[in-house]
Each structure stands twice: as C-alpha cells, then as structure tokens.
Structure 1
Amino acid sequence: MTTIQMNGEVIPSDYADVYDYLGYESINPKAVKQALNDADGSDVTLEINSPGGYVDAGSEIYTALKEYQGRVTAKITGQACSAASWIALAADKVEISPTAQMMIHRASTISAGNSDDLSSALNALDSLDKSFVDLYSQRTGLDKQEVYRLMCNTTWMNAKQAVDKGFADEIMFQDQEQPALVNADGSLSVKPDMINKIKNLLHKPSTENVVKPLQNKENKKNDGQLQKKLAILFGKEN
C-alpha cells in the first residue's frame, strides 16, 4: 500500500519550484505521476486536502489516476474543492472524513482582449462546464441538470451530503459522531502573473543581492529577504 499526500493547491508542474520556495504545499502532475510510478501497480491511497486550482493540471492528474493499474482509494481529510473534487472522483473508492468538505462550481477564468477573445473564452468555459457535468453525473448517478444546478450554486457538501449525493462512497469513522465543519474558500495563494516574476528571481545568477532560501540550523529570518518576498507578492518591488 502506497499513500500519496495531496495537500495544497493543484498547480502545473513547472510552478512547483515557486511554491516550494515560498513554503506553500501543492499538488502537481509530475509529482503524482512519479508517485504512481514508484507504487508500481500496488494499491494506492490518496489523502486529499486541497482547495483545487488549475484545470489543466487537475485534468492531467485525473487522467494519470484513471490509467493507473492498481486500486486507488481517495480519503478526503480536509477539503476537496473544484479541481480536487474530480481528482478524488478518479479513485475507485472515495472516503470522506466526518469533518471534511467537498465543493463543486462552474469553471472560471480571467480574460482580456477584443470581443473575439472574450467570445472564445466564453466558449472554453462552457465546454469545461459540460465536461464537469458529464464527469460528476457519470460518477454520482445524478441527473445532468441537477449537477449543473449544484455547480451554478457553488455547492459545498459536508460528509453526509457528499455520500447522499454520490460524490463519496462512505464516511470515515462511521461509528464516531463528528460535526461537519465549513472550511475556508479556495482562492489561489500565488497568482499566475506572479509566477514568472518569482521564477526570474529564483533563477538569477548568484550575487550578493539575490534572495535565496535560508538554510541555517537556527532557521533565522533575514528581514531584508523577507521584505523582498513580500514586495514581489504585493507588486511593490522597485
């Protein structure tokens, strides 16, 4: 049995170095594929606590899990929202903690350009919504119109609701009564327009002015480096 921790946002593999540098947990296709390769066909358990993230990365992970030869069990320990919800549904069996949550919603994006660009973005969103409706409906057995209604309402489900609607197969620790708690929203910690900016900083040639992660035994924070990071994140760098 192999356990794969899936904590944090679902991101493209080439964003992983930025998230690691900033100390954010994340899930990326390359890491998941490597873990599945190492598992070599043995049973796999996914421990999921994720607010979701990027559609393409989530789709790549979903596909890798569906193609895996061994049995996959998903255990939702905190939250499985948006893209993380269909990563969970790629498993052969979905278990959910009594205090965990699932959330589904319509696809969203940020778009700019002329009317043709906006029309193209709208078509892409509609296409994604239809794909999500098909996936959720097939996995849960719910009518497609009902699934679409749930997505339009950005539906949060506690453990009992997730099982009742078919998004999960069973509640973990069923012999123990636990309250269902609402988790925080699924906004991304690192916005796409920050990624290249931080990547450039990370991969500059080494000089005295380059910010590097601290690696001393006492883990002391350098105020100058911290201020530099914060300036990048909030768009106030010189």
Structure 2
Amino acid sequence: MMRIDLRGAIVPDGEQWIYDWYGIPAVSPKRIMQQIDKAISSNEKELIVNINSPGGSVYAASEIWSHIKKFPGDSVAEITGVCASAASIIAMATKRTVIAPVGALMIHNASIIAQGDYREMEANAGMTFDVIGFGRLNGKYIVTRVQHHKSKITLDLRKCLEGY
C-alpha cells in the first residue's frame, strides 16, 4: 500500500518552489506523479490519496487525475478535511472515495480572472464554462454516471458533500 498526502494548494510545477521557499503546503503534478510512478514500479496493490486541499489550478489537478487513472491497483481518496474546487477533480480519479465525519467535498462552477478590453472579456466569458466547466462536468459524469444536465444543476447550486 502506498499513501500519498495531498495537502495545501494545487499548483503548477513551475510554482512549487515558491511555496517550498515560504514553507507553505502545496502539491504539484510532478511531485504526485513521482510518487504514483514509485507505487507502480513497486507493484503496490493499493494507492491511498489523503486529501486536505482548498483546490488550485484546474490544469495541474487534471494532470494529477490522469496519472492516478494509470495506477493499475485499487485507489482510494480519503478526504480528511476539505476537498474543494480543483481538489475534487483529483478525488474523482480514484475508484473509491471516503469522507471523514468532519470532512467535506465541495464542487462549484469554474471561475476565471480576466483582464483586457471588451473583446477579451467577451471571449473569456464564454471560455470559462466551455473549456474548464465542460471538462469538469465530463470528469464528474464519468465517475458518477449521472446525466449531464443533473451535473450542471449540482454545480449551479455549489454543493458541499459532508462525511457522516
């Protein structure tokens, strides 16, 4: 059994050093992928991903999601605290998800920070849901096997699933 701790912000590989410098908890795809590769090469039967993260980069989370999916054995997401935003994408990569009694898994609509004139703002407004939102919906649809429109309703309500 291999245990991976995913704590703090989910950041791109190029930003990990900043968090390390200041001693701020964070994870990047490269760090997680190295641990998963080690589990695969060691022929581990089970991968436990312990999550307590407010989220972060949806693209970094997507990269981690893809690598967890490559693990041939059983995989479990253990949500011990908060698993919000982009961290929920990573939790959806595992075969099972367990939420601690005081833990929470939170999903929401995609958001973006944009800058520019009215043309750039109009372009970014459509891109937020079309690119990021649609990708997140598809990832959740694969795991939960629910209809696409039901997932959209859930995201519009900004849901928080709590452990019991």
Q: State whether TM-score is above 0.5.
A: yes
> What is the distance in 2 between the residues matched to 1:99 and 1:145?
29
Per-residue CA distance 1:173-196 (angstroms, 9 max, x = gap): xxxxxxxxxxxxxxxxxxxxxxxx
> What is the distance in 1 between the residues matched to 2:162 and 2:115?
36
Counterparts of 1:81-230 in structure 2, within 5 Å, are 81-127=84-130, 128-160=132-164
Structure with more strand by fraction: 2
Counterparts of 1:53-72 in structure 2, within 5 Å, are 53-72=56-75
Deviation at 1:58, TM superposition (A): 0.7
What residue ranges of structure 2 are gaps of 5+ in the alignment? none
What residue ranges of structure 1 are gaps of 5+ in the alignment? 161-238
Q: 2:5 aligns to what SS in structure 1?
A: strand
Deviation at 1:10, TM superposition (A): 0.6
Q: May I ask how many residue pairs the two structures share in their alignment?
A: 160
Q: TM-score, normalised by structure 2?
A: 0.91
Task: Give the structure with higher Rg (CA).
Answer: 1
1:9 and 2:9 aligned: yes
Per-residue CA distance 1:32-89 (angstroms, 9 max, x = gap): 0110111124121110001110111111111111122332211111111111111011
Q: Which residue type is aligned with residue 32 of structure 2?
A: V
Per-residue CA distance 1:126-163 (angstroms, 9 max, x = gap): 12212212222231233322221221222111125xxx
Q: Which residue type is aligned with residue 48 of structure 1?
A: I
> What is the distance in 1 between the residues matched to 2:79 and 2:98?
6
Structure with more helix by fraction: 2
Percent identical residues: 28
Q: 1:68 aligns to what SS in structure 2?
A: coil
Where relative contact order (Cα < 8 A, 6+ residues apart) is larger, the structure is 2
Q: 1:34 aligns to what SS in structure 2?
A: helix
> What is the distance in 2 between the residues matched to 1:16 and 1:93?
28
Structure 1 stretches of 4+ moved >4 Å: none
Deviation at 1:11, TM superposition (A): 0.5
Q: TM-score, normalised by structure 1?
A: 0.64
Deviation at 1:119, TM superposition (A): 2.4
> What is the distance in 2 between the residues matched to 1:138 and 1:34?
25
